[in-house]
Structure 1
């Protein structure tokens, strides 16, 4: 069994991003990222703090717009419009989830596609589905980088994705199809999940349910990617029974230290990409 070390790879990517930032600064451009945070959800606050810290570490400009949960949809859309027009802010992400009185789809569609570093805009999602160059969501993109780093050839592999969210499952499906894998996607209505996971060369899971994937659900020598994040007895754990599944797996991601650090690294990479595209289009 080998660990797919996202922490180590993320540091490697951040160092490359820092080099890119330094080059752009010599041209008089400082890559800028704006984050919108609504409400006081502790997990969201932690993620935003980590994203801001990562930006500062590589020399990017970062600004966080914090709003109370009571903010109106109109006020939020006005802020997004302002950021869209700001030439010093090259990337914009809206931290999810948003309060129930705000239409998440409407808000995500308001983000300028060229600044959509989270890859959630329907325009970018559509391009990803078509196999065209676009901004892809950071977590699935981070998983693809892990495969690349560890020389895992996806062509022709049978892959089972557990979880069909717009943020992870669906874009992961598109990225894997574009890499010529054969993909099976499961969700809450899937009957007998184990029949799907058992035959897969690679299992990717991200649903937020501790120990959902157990050793009897994966075949010997499978590659297991755990995107889940859960808190159990004060400890952060994934969706995979790591202790037992790791005994059967050829490769496995730990939680924490697997896909989590890669998500932030890909956000930085997407922000550099956005900066360069806007520089070319000026």
Structure 2
């Protein structure tokens, strides 16, 4: 069996067309979606990613502003910056770029972003809403991975799913999203005994651990879908958490790295930006009885 390679770039392109149309509707009402990216200190590690975000945003009709602050900025000062952006109706979404200096904990900044402007879906309220099956602004990577699975000719209800990795922003949200869709979910982590026992009986496997080659073809059920979310650098190449060659011989569908989950994650960020803008427009209209 040779797996069908899932084209994340094509999925993202279709999403951007829908985003562009919705952004145009909002812009006509005076609410063009606008994102502000916050980075701190040396931006070399995130510079390429920020440029890609800006390019994709502008192509989808979403304004994008990149701001960089000195590495010496304090947590209190940066929190003040975020509170100002929260209060600015011209800003509809805030992105916190990583890495950050050691003295600035990313979770503190994520909590400081207003939930209505949390386009990354990292605020505790955004994560918590998933438990209640209320997606709203979900964590981009987790939502993107699930959206990719939904494009396949599989019946989600009753599907046996294995999630390898249980981080707060990817693994756990994927598990709750899939349960919300009616799937039966097993979550594996670093204390799980015999991960392969669980992954071999799954119809779909998500892996997000950060260990290249962790999942091999021997760990998959023939015909299963494999959504590889890992991003690793090995010998100058970008690879996922799966051994692509062996997995492609067993799986029915597989996401490449790069070109799989990554492009859909950026498109999901832009989709969140449009949704956040509409939510803010509705909020202001309700609060101030503004004619729309």
TM superposition score normalised by structure 1: 0.96
Aligned length: 282
Counterpart for residue 19 of structure 2: 17
Shift of 1:41: 5.2
Per the alignment, in what secondary structure is the counterpart of residue 35 of structure 2? strand
Q: How do 1:242-253 residues align onto structure 2 when only pairs under 5 Å count?
A: 242-253=244-255
Q: How do 1:46-61 residues align onto structure 2 when only pairs under 5 Å count?
A: 46-61=48-63
Deviations 1:191-213 (A, max 9, x none): 22212211211110011111110
Q: Indicate which of 232, 236, 239 corresponds to 1:234.
A: 236
- C-alpha contact (below 8 Å) 2:226/2:255 kept by paired residues: yes
Runs of 4+, deviation exceeding 3 Å: none
2: CA distance between counterparts of 1:133 and 1:234?
Answer: 37
Counterpart for residue 171 of structure 2: 169
Counterpart for residue 198 of structure 1: 200
1: CA distance between counterparts of 2:172 and 2:203?
Answer: 19
Counterpart for residue 146 of structure 1: 148
Q: CA RMSD in A?
A: 1.3
Counterpart for residue 109 of structure 2: 107
2: CA distance between counterparts of 1:14 and 1:179?
Answer: 24
Deviations 1:197-236 (A, max 9, x none): 1121111001111111011111111110100111111111
2: CA distance between counterparts of 1:13 and 1:105?
Answer: 29
Structure 1 stretch displaced more, 199-208 or 139-148: 139-148
1: CA distance between counterparts of 2:60 and 2:182?
Answer: 34
Structure 1: give runs of 5+ residues left out of the alignment.
none
TM superposition score normalised by structure 2: 0.93
Shift of 1:55: 1.1
- C-alpha contact (below 8 Å) 1:37/1:48 kept by paired residues: no
Shift of 1:44: 2.2
Asked if 1:256 corresponds to 2:258, the answer is yes
Shift of 1:5: 1.2
Shift of 1:254: 0.7
Deviations 1:223-266 (A, max 9, x none): 10100111111111111111111111011101111000000000
Shift of 1:133: 4.0
Deviations 1:8-61 (A, max 9, x none): 010111111111112222222211011111232544222222111111112221
- C-alpha contact (below 8 Å) 2:150/2:156 kept by paired residues: no
Structure 2: give runs of 5+ residues left out of the alignment.
285-292
Structure 1 stretch displaced more, 148-157 or 164-173: 148-157
Shift of 1:129: 1.0
- C-alpha contact (below 8 Å) 2:130/2:177 kept by paired residues: yes
Q: How do 1:1-282 residues align onto structure 2 when only pairs under 5 Å count?
A: 1-40=3-42, 42-282=44-284
Deviations 1:140-196 (A, max 9, x none): 111222122223322111111111111211111111110111111111222222122
Assess, with a 3 A threshold, how the Cα gap between structure 1 residues 65 and 189 changes in structure 2: closer, same or farther.
same
